[in-house]
Structure 1
Amino acid sequence: MPIFAVHYVYTDATAAARLENRPEHRGWLNNLVDQGTILTSGPYPDGTGALILFRAESLEFVTDLLPQDPFAKLGLIEDKRAVEWLPVMGVFSEE
């Protein structure tokens, strides 16, 4: 099944609101991890965004899920990019 990389972009203006709402955001992510839909997720150390790796049938499935993220519902994501990713080695490759 394909893997999709989702890059979130954050701004300093939403840092306090993200901190306040992080438990709900992480709960949403953890539920998708438990379902096998998210492989891993985490913020960039400089606070500019985050990376989420999804295993899903299609990009459309992923993009339909993203508005359900509590951060998205609250307008805390400045921008996002979702692309199919093809790992050719390591733990996420199919070889």
Structure 2
Amino acid sequence: MAFFVVQLQFDLAETDERLAVRPAHREYLNELKEAGKLVAAGPFTDQTGALLVYDVADEAELRDILAKDPYTPADVYQLALLTEWQPLFPFSE
């Protein structure tokens, strides 16, 4: 397994479009969390984007997950960062 960090960047001019699809996006994230694929996620306080941490087999699996996210076909974000990450400290709840 590998950890990946993804940063989404939102276009504030498209806020209404993003908010319309956000419930489906968040439901999808909940499914990923329950499946053990999503470690952490949340928007930036200024609503300009979001940060997500995934635990997946490889980048191909992550790209498949992103393609299935309701935000992707709605075209409400830009992918600002997608990189493999090596955590120094483990996550705890």
Provide the C-alpha distance between the structure 1 equivalents of 2:29 and 2:63, rounded to a whole number of angstroms: 14
Residue 16 of structure 2 aligns with an amino acid whose one-letter code is: A
Counterpart position of 1:86: 86
For structure 2, which runs of at least 5 residues remain unmatched after alignment? none
TM-score w.r.t. the length of structure 1 is 0.89
Preserved contact between residue 8 and residue 81 of structure 2 (Cα < 8 Å): yes
Structure 1's consecutive aligned runs of 4 or more residues displaced over 4 angstroms after TM superposition are none
- Aligned-residue Cα RMSD (Å) equals 1.3
The residue aligned with 2:37 is 37
| Equivalent residues, number | 92
**Identity value in percent:** 30
How does 1:1-95 map onto structure 2 within 5 Å?
1-91=1-91
TM-score, normalised via structure 2 length: 0.90
Instruction: Kindly provide the CA deviation profile for residues 21-73 of structure 1, in whole angstroms up to 9, marking residues without a partner as x.
Output: 11100001110001000011100111111111100110111012111111111
- Residues of 2 paired with 1:80 and 1:10: CA distance? 10
